[in-house]
């Protein structure tokens, strides 16, 4: 079985991600009535989402994701959970022609991210709907705490998560196994 990104060639995201943490939530959390920081706060919201998605192998804001794999695997676990649906799986042959795979005939889905194929596909294009429409409360709280950590100037590395946030997010830590 392949877990994570062992044969993952590329991930393409849909355009126009709607952030689930709003500027007003951040201003309330920071008790920051000064609107001159609005663009900074907006940037920190995006930076925090991107940091969490990368660090914890998650998809936070709902969007369509297309995963391109080159693999001979008969099982595959998709990264960047949660996936609310597997929209399509297509196999691309050497000539570039696509064949749509059918659930139950060509593959089986276990949970929302583990796929078992009835035949080995070589080049697979898997399109999912992934992410949350509403953040779990602990991720929302951790996001606001991380934004405060960054806003207060304690953030010295774009990959650094505050120690308090790390404790909350530990349960979401999904190391990619290859």
Whether 10 is covered by a domain: the verdict is no
Distance CA 177, CA 95 (A): 32
Whether 5 is covered by a domain: the verdict is no
- In a shared domain, residues 25 and 53: yes
- In a shared domain, residues 43 and 72: no
Secondary structure (3-state) at 116: strand
- In a shared domain, residues 107 and 94: yes
Alpha helix (H) ranges present in 57-162?
137-151
**Residue 52 pLDDT grade (very low, low, confident, very high; cuts 50, 70, 90):** very high
Whether 1 is covered by a domain: the verdict is no
Whether 156 is covered by a domain: the verdict is yes
* Burial state string for 133-154 with b = 16 or more CB within 10 A and e = fewer than 16: eebeeebbebbbbbbbbbbeee
- In a shared domain, residues 54 and 70: no
- In a shared domain, residues 38 and 54: yes
**pLDDT (mean) for 89-102:** 91
| Domains: count for the chain | 2
Domain of 146 in residue numbering reads as: 18-60+133-172
- In a shared domain, residues 68 and 28: no
Secondary structure (3-state) at 123: strand
Whether 149 is covered by a domain: the verdict is yes
| Residues contacting residue 45 through CB under 8 Å, at least 6 positions apart | 19, 21, 22, 23, 26, 143, 147
Q: What is the pLDDT of residues 1-26, one digit of tens each?
A: 444 455 788 888 887 899 999 999 99
Residue 155's pLDDT is what? Answer: 64
């Amino acid at each position: 079985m392949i877990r994570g990104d062992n044969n993952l060639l590329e991930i393409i995201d849909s355009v126009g991600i709607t952030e689930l943490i709003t500027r007003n939530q951040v201003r309330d959390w920071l008790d920051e009535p000064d609107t001159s920081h609005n663009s900074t706060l907006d940037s920190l919201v995006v930076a925090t989402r991107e940091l969490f998605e990368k660090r914890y192998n998650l998809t936070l804001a709902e969007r369509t994701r297309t995963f391109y794999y080159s693999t001979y695997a008969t099982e595959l676990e998709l990264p960047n959970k949660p996936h609310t649906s597997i929209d399509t799986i297509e196999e691309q042959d050497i000539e570039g022609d696509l064949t749509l795979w059918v659930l139950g005939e060509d593959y089986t889905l276990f949970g929302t991210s583990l796929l078992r194929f009835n035949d080995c596909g070589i080049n697979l294009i898997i399109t999912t709907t992934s992410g949350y429409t509403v953040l779990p409360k602990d991720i929302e709280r951790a996001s606001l705490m991380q934004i405060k950590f960054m806003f207060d100037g304690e953030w010295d590395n774009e990959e650094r998560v505050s120690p308090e946030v790390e404790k909350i997010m530990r349960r979401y830590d999904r190391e990619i196994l290859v």
